[in-house]
Structure 1
């Protein structure tokens, strides 16, 4: 055979019907890449579902964690002891207090968080170029997650304030709608954002840590143990679970002090004339470093579990609804 470039395979089978079948098969095997609203709305939907399901499912743990933070003298026997005391005092139904606010709040937050993260990551790539973004991907992850979380917290804050009030005062209202109505009528709309500073202080570092650690662990796994192009869907889900679990532990430790302060400031309304900043300073002094980590055991379990679940569900939903697109900058 003469040397030279190889002859490319024929593009036609010689049959119009077979050619059409071949093209359809290739189209199914390689889903069409999306962009713009079609892509980011899918990212937002996947994020909304994964956050609402995981946070909503962890409501009982969140109730116990919040009780420990608000009343550490009473709930001083750890997470299991806390469960027992809540049930003994208020009944098993108390473990679902604030479930409606949790599902609704984190549905909105998840849409902004995950959809926003993908959006701002793409904007960074468009602004600086792919190569620069890839070489500085940790900074891109940090900036994108921080921007996304800021907008997510605007949506979350009123619902989180209501949830904490319902948990701290079980007789305050019968549910989300009545709780929000009561807070608005008695304390004004500003009450919903009394904890906006603490929630930013908590959620922004939490989300930055969560996404960076997840991205780094997943990148390490694919670079050293798996071929991303050939890894099965099931193994991708396992990798997402493991990376998310490690990311959740790291994020919980970083954000725990602000989480405790958020619970405290939303427990009750401030004194007449007392501003949010002065309340935060007062709470920080009362807590100290040790007090700010009250309930860390319950929160490590809760955040580690839900973060692992979030990334696993997020990846599966994206794949199921054809959210194919965007730009990966991991090496």
Structure 2
């Protein structure tokens, strides 16, 4: 997901050109994140369906190990809708989640450097930049949890016997939209906030260790990097 985000973001930026990439950078972040997650969900869906089935089955009625559970899901495809029966609700959960995570991370970084860490970014140590990454990731994760919670609840409910034959609309009507959006939200905020922060921190730590700089852009500014890229492409 992180790698595809960089690929799509770079491709879109090259497609629209330097000036437009700066002018519409928010739309590029959103589009790159959505495209990355759309592709990622295709690989994720079968594993997600197995995970949810194992979690929601009555103990002793379904295998709890990965391979036996996958075989059982595949053998009962009409009943379980394996492997892509949950792809639409998964997209409805993951795409808003990822778009929110990447977009608000970028915005949180800008906010922190504008209002809190007001010295030039290059003046801060790598550890400080990574700390800013963690804080921005946590802020983005909180918003992610709120945005993606209804979709996550639907995915979980679809695996329960009561809702196996029901459409998404029927599940929402039966369970209630307010409950769908709020039940378990506090726990999810803590979990997703921590996960998102750690994901960004690990990703930035890797990039920093490889000499690529962090997503907090403490090294070369975006403008300098882009000018170098476009100058090279004209040679």
Matching of residue 304 in structure 1 with residue 193 in structure 2: yes
Matching of residue 176 in structure 1 with residue 69 in structure 2: no
Deviations 1:34-78 (A, max 9, x none): xxxxxxxxxxxxxxxxxxxxxxxxxxxxxxxxxxxxxxxxxxxxx
Match of 2:184 in 1: 295
Q: CA 1:174/1:182 → structure 2, altered by over 3 Å: closer, same or farther?
A: same
Which stretch of the first structure deviates more once superposed, 238-247 or 215-224?
A: 215-224
Match of 2:15 in 1: 127
Deviations 1:261-282 (A, max 9, x none): 01111334976xx5xxx52111
How far apart in 2 are the matches of 1:219 and 1:315? 16
How far apart in 1 are the matches of 2:162 and 2:67? 19
Matching of residue 264 in structure 1 with residue 157 in structure 2: yes
Matching of residue 185 in structure 1 with residue 78 in structure 2: no
Q: CA 1:119/1:328 → structure 2, altered by over 3 Å: closer, same or farther?
A: farther
Match of 1:138 in 2: 26
Q: CA 1:330/1:182 → structure 2, altered by over 3 Å: closer, same or farther?
A: farther
Matching of residue 163 in structure 1 with residue 60 in structure 2: no
How far apart in 2 are the matches of 1:325 and 1:295? 33
Q: CA deviation at 1:125?
A: 1.0
Match of 2:5 in 1: 117
How far apart in 2 are the matches of 1:197 and 1:116? 20
Match of 1:200 in 2: 91
Matching residue within 218, 221, 227 for 2:109:
218
Match of 2:232 in 1: none
Q: CA deviation at 1:250?
A: 0.6
Structure-2-length-normalised TM-score? 0.83
Q: Bigger radius of gyration, 1 or 2? A: 1
Q: CA deviation at 1:135?
A: 1.2
Q: CA 1:269/1:193 → structure 2, altered by over 3 Å: closer, same or farther?
A: farther
Say if 2:207 and 2:214, in contact at 8 Å, map to a contact too: no
How far apart in 1 are the matches of 2:223 and 2:175? 40
Q: CA 1:162/1:328 → structure 2, altered by over 3 Å: closer, same or farther?
A: farther
Q: CA 1:279/1:126 → structure 2, altered by over 3 Å: closer, same or farther?
A: same
Q: CA deviation at 1:220?
A: 2.1
Match of 1:56 in 2: none
More relative contact order, 1 or 2 (CA 8 Å, 6+ apart): 1
- Structure 2 unmatched runs, 5+: 225-235
Say if 2:163 and 2:171, in contact at 8 Å, map to a contact too: no
Q: CA deviation at 1:322?
A: 4.1
How far apart in 1 are the matches of 2:211 and 2:161? 45
How far apart in 2 are the matches of 1:307 and 1:324? 19
Report the secondary structure of 1:214's partner residue.
helix
Matching of residue 249 in structure 1 with residue 142 in structure 2: yes
- Structure 1 unmatched runs, 5+: 1-112
How far apart in 2 are the matches of 1:290 and 1:310? 30
How far apart in 2 are the matches of 1:168 and 1:325? 39
**What is the root-mean-square deviation of aligned Cα atoms in Å?**
2.4
How far apart in 1 are the matches of 2:223 and 2:23? 9
Say if 1:194 and 1:266, in contact at 8 Å, map to a contact too: no
Q: CA deviation at 1:321?
A: 3.4
How far apart in 2 are the matches of 1:318 and 1:215? 16
